[in-house]
Structure formats: structure tokens, C-alpha cells
Amino acid sequence: MQIFGERGIILRAQSSVAIDCNSGDASVITHAHADHAYFKTDKPVLASEETLALIESNYKGIKKPKPVRFGEKVKWREFSLSLHNAGHILGSAQVLVQDSTSIAITSDFKLQDSLVLKGATPLDCETLVIESTFGLPEYQFPDRETTYEEFANWIKKQLSLNRFVVLAGYAIGKAQELTAFVNEYLGITPLVHEKIYRTNKVYEKYNSKLGSYYKLNHNLNDSDILIMPPSLCNAMLLQAIEFSVHKHVASAKASGWPYKGCFDRVFPLSDHADFNQLLEYIKLAEPKLVLTTHGFAKEFAYYVRRKLNIPARPLQSSTNQLFLEEFD
């Protein structure tokens, strides 16, 4: 079997399966974020039911969807594969491919539980393809409960100063955690942007408990907290909100990246594994070979070799394909 990276990941034997791209005889979509949800194809698209629902709600257009339950073994031509919870967003999946060998592909994942999702369970495998978005030692996040408490205390202080609070988190995934967080830690019903409102409804369809929220619709005075996608937040918007509510605005973003931009604070609520979680996954999976992808792939492969003494290197492109048989 050949494995290589080309926007997503390609597994090729007599036929091919593309993971998070369209370049195979069939595709697997690991989750519904736009940089992974390549679905404009006439070929079969395999994904969890939740992922397909999020794609339908936010993008539409899958012609041949094939829903797959977590843990269900699917036979497609010569490939035997299964999907397993990745803990990244609703429906996000790791992919396990098994034939004469076993290959686990984490895609985006985290091990920590959040208010709305269980963390991933590492998959036993011979070859591990692991995302390395935060694959440097400086990216080490506190446990979520500590961050929730710090975040809540900051918001309480802003509210005590009669400020309107704007929270930014990705419309699919982070914003649902923020909705649940504002309800559970502050006892407040937030306003949410239309994109977030739509995605909240999909989460609730699949039994996520988010609490109450209002859809933003010229009703800024209905709450003191507004949750927005970060792509829509800028200094001009925050100023416009100040004019509308006649209050100073305090703003914060939930992200593993520390860059503040127009925000007053950034709180490290990431939907990705940090450096320590990446190493912990590998220790538990016990692979013979680790292939790193995304982010700090080269650097993280070095740390895997140095700290865990396991062969590791960045996943290579189709111009330099990797034959797994070389590592038998």
C-alpha cells in the first residue's frame, strides 16, 4: 500500500481512498471544517452521520453520501476501514485502515474532554499518521477546567464594569463549547450569530447539551454576551457594537494560537491536541512508524524520534510516495 499527502491523504493499492480531499476513487471526510470537507465529487463520500449533517447545514452539495457509525467496519473494494471519535468537533473522526497492516489517521483531534465532546481514544496501529498542528514544546495548554474558571472570572469582571462582552470562536465547534460554557459557568443566555445558531441546532439534534441562547437579529440588548465567528470580528465591528449598546465592549477569543489581533484577551481553549497530548497519543498507540502532517510536521517528527525513539518523518507528497512495505 502507498500513502502520501496531497492536500489531504491518499491511500493507494489497486484503487485509492482519499481522506479530506477528492483525489481518490472514494473519499473520507474526517470532519466538517471547510479545510477538510472536500465533497464536490461524483464518487462515494464516507463520513459520520453528524459530519454529513453539519456539511448539509453549512455547505450543502454531497452527491453520494455514505454515513458510517463510529466503530463500524466498512469494506470498500480492497480497503477495510472504520471511523472513531476524534474529539475535535461533533462527528469528527479518526480513520483506521486494516489489511495486512494497520494504519491510523488521526486528522484533527484532542484527548481532553470538553463541555460538549468526549476526547479521542488513541488507536492501536502499526503506522500512525498524526496531525501536528501544535507540534512544538511551547504549545502546552492548561486543563480545560482551569481555563474555564479563568475565562469565567474575566467575563464576570467585565460585566461588573458594565461592559458588553463579545466572545469569538469558530462557528463549527468552538462556538458550541462557548455557548455551553456561558450557560454553565455564568448562568447567562448569550446571543449567537446566525451561523452559530444554525450549527447549535445540529449539535442539539445529536444530543449535545448547550443550554439556552438567542439568535442575533437586531436584538443586542437581549443579553450582555455575544458569541461571534472570529472571521467576522474586527475593530470596526466592535466599535459599532459599542455605539449600539452604549457600553464599552470587552472582547476575547478562544484559540490555541496566542495572537490577540483586535481582541482584549485570548484563552487557550483549543480543539487540537497540544504538544503533550500528541506525545501521549503516540505512547498509547505504540506504532512502529509515525508520519506527521499539518503544522510543525518536520519539527514534531524530530521530537518523536528524540523523546520516544520511534521512527518518524513528515508525510511526503505524491512526488515522493511512501511504500509501507519498506517498514515491515
Query: DSSP secondary structure string, 116-157?
Result: S-PPP-PPP-SEEEEE-TT-STT--PPPHHHHHHHHHHHHHH
Enumerate the domain spans of the chain: 2-139+272-327, 144-267
CA distance 209 to 176: 9
**pLDDT confidence of residue 317:** 62
User: Quick check: 191 pLDDT over 60?
Assistant: yes
Find how far residue 197's CA is from the centre of its chain: 18
With a pLDDT cut of 70, the percent of the chain lying above it is 95
CA distance 89 to 15: 30
Q: Are 110 and 272 in contact (CB under 8 A)?
A: yes
Q: Domain 144-267: which topology?
A: Rossmann fold (3.40.50)
Q: Which CATH superfamily is 2-139+272-327 part of?
A: Ribonuclease Z/Hydroxyacylglutathione hydrolase-like (3.60.15.10)
Q: Is 211 left (phi over 0), alpha (psi -120 to 50) or beta?
A: left
CA distance 217 to 15: 49
Q: What average pLDDT does this structure show over 125-130?
A: 97
List, for residues 12-53, the tens digit of each pLDDT value: 888 899 999 887 889 999 999 988 887 677 888 999 999 999
Q: Which residues contact 78 (CB under 8 A, 6 or more apart)?
A: 13, 14, 15, 99
What DSSP string runs through 161-207?
Answer: TT-EEEEE--TTTHHHHHHHHIIIII----EE-HHHHHHHHHHHHTT
User: Quick check: 196 pLDDT over 60?
Assistant: yes
Would you call 286 helix, strand, or coil by DSSP?
A: coil
Provide the pLDDT confidence category of residue 7 given band limits of 50, 70 and 90: confident
**pLDDT confidence of residue 236:** 96
Provide the pLDDT confidence category of residue 5 given band limits of 50, 70 and 90: confident
Would you call 62 helix, strand, or coil by DSSP?
A: coil
List, for residues 159-190, the tens digit of each pLDDT value: 999 999 999 999 999 999 999 999 999 999 99
User: Quick check: 326 pLDDT over 50?
Assistant: no
